[in-house]
Structure 1
Amino acid sequence: MAVKIGIVGMNGIGNNHAACYKEDDLAEVVAVCDVVKERADASAERFGVKAYYSVKDMIEGEQDLKIVDITTGGIDNGSWHFEPAMEAIGYGKHVLVEKPLCHDVREARDLVAFAEKQRVYLGCNLNHYFTSPAEKAKQYMDSGDVGELVYCLAKMGFNGGEMNYALANSPKIKGHPYFHMRAFLTHPFSVMRHFCGEITHIQTFSDRPGFRRSAGDVMVSINSIHVKFANGGVGYLLSQRGDTVYGLGGWWSLEVAGSRGTFCIENCVEKVSFWKATKGIAPISVQPEPEVTHFGTNDFNRTFHNRLHAFLEDVENKVAFEQLRASGRDALAVLEYVHAVQESYERGGEVVRPHPLPPLHGDPHFMM
């Protein structure tokens, strides 16, 4: 039976989500909501549903609504997430929030705590590991083919360079130094954590190029981030926002190396390569031939369909709260990492330990 969904925030990403749900047999969008009446009305007409202009009116007007999808934006793409999400959770609705979970990490902590108190599912659109290459790579890890984690290298950002640069005039970006950190680093951190576990130490060396400085652009757009994982592995994340042209691996690459093998995902959805450690490998001169799996696509947009469907599946299957994929708790973890990056930058590159997550209590219905 299809799950009835209301979408809040009908700018670009909200319409993207609605289009994804239209293709999903598990989903039935019954309402759209936006404080800008023209946006709500246009989306309602496009998708053949009713328009609302407040979360309260939408929930009270749609008695069978089960999920509220929050796709609002705001400063750093997240300052309008907290209030509608809290309101929907207060009504006992399951909630999916676009990334980042919140603009402010303190609000994110409150949001996760409130969802747990209300016993509702809270998910986040951490869609970058809902891909076929990520599934294949996870199989390598779960089967023991990777072994003990040694290192993780992640590179995610945007192509660009000085000749393509233009100062952003949007009020959600202009004048906000941490826009790239808050709006984007959630994604690569979520992928690193998905494969390698919790991060316990973070240190960043971040800056902006001269052409941004000359234009009066305050965005700290280049981030070179060193991390330590709880399991003893180390990691590195390089991200920039259109300050140069990316080379090998494209805009998105992830390499995870363990004591028994190494895998590398390129361009998120494109392919995964795996190098198996075998006895007799020469230290430098001989590189084993990798097992390469191509998935025949470079359509990143399919990750939205995959992630939204996963949330619907988890809600319908009534999974244990701690088993919810890309949960609010997961999103809070990576937001804590982003906050630690910001703190490290403000301290001139000091090592920072991210704020710990709240304790897991476990679901008594599943822990017999």
Structure 2
Amino acid sequence: MALKIGIVGMGGIGNNHAACYQKDELADLVAVCDVVKAKADAAAEKFGVKAYYSLQTMLESEPDLQIVDVTTGGIDNGSWHFEPAMEAILAGKHVLVEKPLAHDIEEGRQLYAAAEKMKVYLGCNLNHYFTPPAEKAMQYVNEGGVGELVYCLMKMGFNGGEAGYAAAGSPKIKDHPYFHMKAFLTHPFSVMRHFCGDITHIQTFSDRPGFRRNAGDVMVSINSIHVKFANGGVGYLLSQRGDAVYGLGGWWSFEMAGSKGTFAIENCVEKVSYWKAEKGIPAISVQPEPEVTNYGTNDFGTTFGNRLHAFLEDVSNGVPREQLRANGRDALAVLEYTFAVIESYERGGELVRPRRLPPLHGDPLTML
């Protein structure tokens, strides 16, 4: 049976989600909401649903609503997440919130705690690993093809360079030094954690190039981040916001190397390569031939529908909250990592230990 959904925030992401829901048999989009009346009205007409201009009114008028999808933005793409997400949670609705989970780490912790108290699903749009290449890569991991983690390399950001640079004029970005960190690091950290587990140590060297400085741009746009995982493996994340053109692997690449094999995903949705560790492989110079699975696409837009369908599937199936894919705890984890990066940067590149996640207690009705 299709789940009744209302979307809050009818900008680009909200309209994207609405279009995905209308193609999904598990979704019944019944309402859209935006404090900007013109946006709500335009979306309502486009998708043939009711328009609302406050979440309170939508909740009161649509008592059968099951899911509230929060796609608002704000400063650093996240300052308008907390209030609607918390309002929907306290109303007993399941919530999917756009990344980052919140603009402030304390707000993120409160959202997770409230969802646990209300026993509702809290998911986050961590869509970057809802792809066929990621599924194939996880198959290698689960079947023992990677073995014990040795290292991972994550490179994710935006192609660019000095020639195409233009200072941001939006008040949601301009004069906010941590825009890229807060708005974007959630995604690569979510991929790293998905494959490699929890991160226990973080250290960063972050800066901005001269052409940003000369333009008076305060965004800390270059992030060179070193991490240690709970299982003893190490990792590296390079992310920059249009300061250079990426080379091998494109704007999005992830490599995970273990004691039994290595895989690399290129361009997020395009392909995955796997190298098996065997006796007799030359130590240097000659690279063994990989097993390559090419999916013949570079359409990143497919990740949105994949992620939304997974959320609907999990809610429909009534999975335990801790088993919800890309759940609130996952979103809180990567937000903790992002704020650890900020702390490391502010302390001149010192090592920082992210705050521990809340313990999992488990549901006695599902853990029999």
Question: Above 0.5 in TM-score?
Answer: yes
Could you say what secondary structure the match of 1:336 adopts? helix
Aligned twin of 1:139: 139
Measure how far apart 1:48 and its partner are. 0.3
Residue of structure 2 in register with 1:126 after alignment: 126
Distance of 1:360 and 1:25 partners within structure 2: 32
Q: Distance in 1 between matches of 2:275 and 2:28?
A: 43
Three-state SS of the structure 2 residue aligned to 1:35 is coil
**What is residue 168 of structure 2 aligned with on the other side?**
168
Gaps of 5+ in 2: none
Residues 167-213 of structure 1, C-alpha deviation per residue, up to 9 Å, x if partnerless? Answer: 00101100000000000000000000000000000000000000000
Cα distance in 2, alignment partners of residues 266 and 55 from structure 1? 40
> Is residue 293 of structure 1 aligned with residue 280 of structure 2?
no
One-letter amino acid of the structure 2 residue matched with residue 147 of structure 1: G
- Report the alpha carbon displacement of residue 281 of structure 1 after superposing the two structures with TM: 1.1
Q: Report the Cα offset of residue 337 of structure 1.
A: 0.2
Shift of 1:286: 2.5
Q: What is the match of residue 70 of structure 2?
A: 70
- 1:268: which partner in 2? 268
The alignment status of 1:348 with 2:348, answered yes or no, reads yes
Give the AA of the match of 1:223. N
SS in 2 for 1:41: helix
In structure 2, how many angstroms separate the alpha carbons of the residues matched to 1:119 and 1:285? 55
Tell me, in whole angstroms, the C-alpha distance in 2 between the residues paired with 1:11 and 1:367: 40
Per the TM alignment, residue 288 of structure 1 is displaced from its structure 2 partner at its CA by 1.0
Report SS of the residue matched to 1:342. Answer: helix
Q: In the alignment, residue 54 of structure 1 is paired with which amino acid?
A: S
Q: Which residue of 1 aligns with 2:218?
A: 218
Matches of 1:308 and 1:364, distance apart in 2: 28
Counterpart check, 1:237 vs 2:237:
yes
Aligned positions, number: 368
Equivalent residue runs for 1:91-110 within 5 Å: 91-110=91-110
Identity fraction in percent: 80
Q: Which deviates the most, 284-293 or 114-123? A: 284-293
Q: Are 1:318 and 2:318 counterparts?
A: yes
Shift of 1:285: 2.9
Aligned partners of 1:313, 1:306: CA distance in 2, in Å? 10
- Distance in 1 (alpha carbons) for counterparts of 2:285 and 2:105: 47
Given the alignment of the two structures, is residue 80 of structure 1 paired with residue 119 of structure 2, yes or no? no
Residue deviations 1:103-136, cap 9 Å, x none? 0010000000000000000000000000000000
**Amino acid of the structure 1 residue aligned with 2:360:** L
| Matched residue, 2:309 | 309
Measure, in 1, the Cα distance between the counterparts of 2:252 and 2:365.
39
Q: Quote the Cα distance in structure 2 between the aligned partners of 1:324 and 1:94.
A: 12
Q: Distance in 2 between matches of 1:300 and 1:146?
A: 26
Q: Where does residue 114 of structure 1 map in the other structure?
A: 114
Q: Which residue identity is paired with 1:173?
A: I
1:56, 1:84 → 2: CA distance? 9
- SS of 1:273's partner is strand
- Cα shift at 1:296: 1.5
Aligned twin of 1:336:
336
For 1:362 and 1:173, locate their aligned partners in 2 and report how far apart those are by CA, in whole Å.
40
Deviation of 1:299 after TM superposition, in Å, equals 0.6
Equivalent residue letter for 1:278: E
Q: Quote the residue 2:38 is aligned against.
A: 38
| Alpha-carbon distance between aligned partners in 1 of 2:208 and 2:241, rounded to the nearest angstrom | 10
Question: Is residue 363 of structure 1 aligned with residue 345 of structure 2?
Answer: no
The aligned counterpart of 1:29 is 29
2:56 is the counterpart of 1:56: yes
Distance 1:118 1:46 in 2: 34
Counterpart residue identity of residue 139, structure 2: Q
Q: Distance in 2 between matches of 1:85 and 1:157?
A: 27
1:209 counterpart residue number: 209
Equivalents in 2 of 1:296, 1:282: separation in Å?
Answer: 31
1:83-106, Cα deviation, whole Å (9 max, x unpaired) = 000000111000000000000010
Deviation at 1:225, TM superposition (A): 0.3
State how far apart, in whole Å, the 2-side matches of 1:286 and 1:299 are.
33
What SS is found at the alignment partner of 1:338?
helix
Q: Distance in 2 between matches of 1:320 and 1:88?
A: 20
In the alignment, the residues of structure 1 paired with residue 144 and residue 269 of structure 2 have an alpha-carbon distance, to the nearest angstrom, of 23
Q: 1:197-252 deviations in whole A, cap 9, x for unaligned?
A: 00000000000000000000000000000000000000000000000111110000
Deviations, residues 14-43 of structure 1 (Å, cap 9, x unaligned) = 000000101101101100000111110110
Counterpart Cα distance in 2 of 1:79 and 1:355: 21
Secondary structure at 1:113 match in 2 = helix
Displacement of 1:280 in angstroms is 1.1
Letter in 2 for 1:93: K
Partner of 1:19: 19
Alignment deviations for residues 288-332 of structure 1 (CA, whole Å, 9 cap, x no partner): 100000011111000000000000000000000110000011000
SS in 2 for 1:309: helix
CA deviation profile, 1:255-275 (whole Å, cap 9, x unmatched): 000000000000000000000
Q: Distance in 1 between matches of 2:243 and 2:77?
A: 20
Greater CA drift, 283-292 or 336-345:
283-292
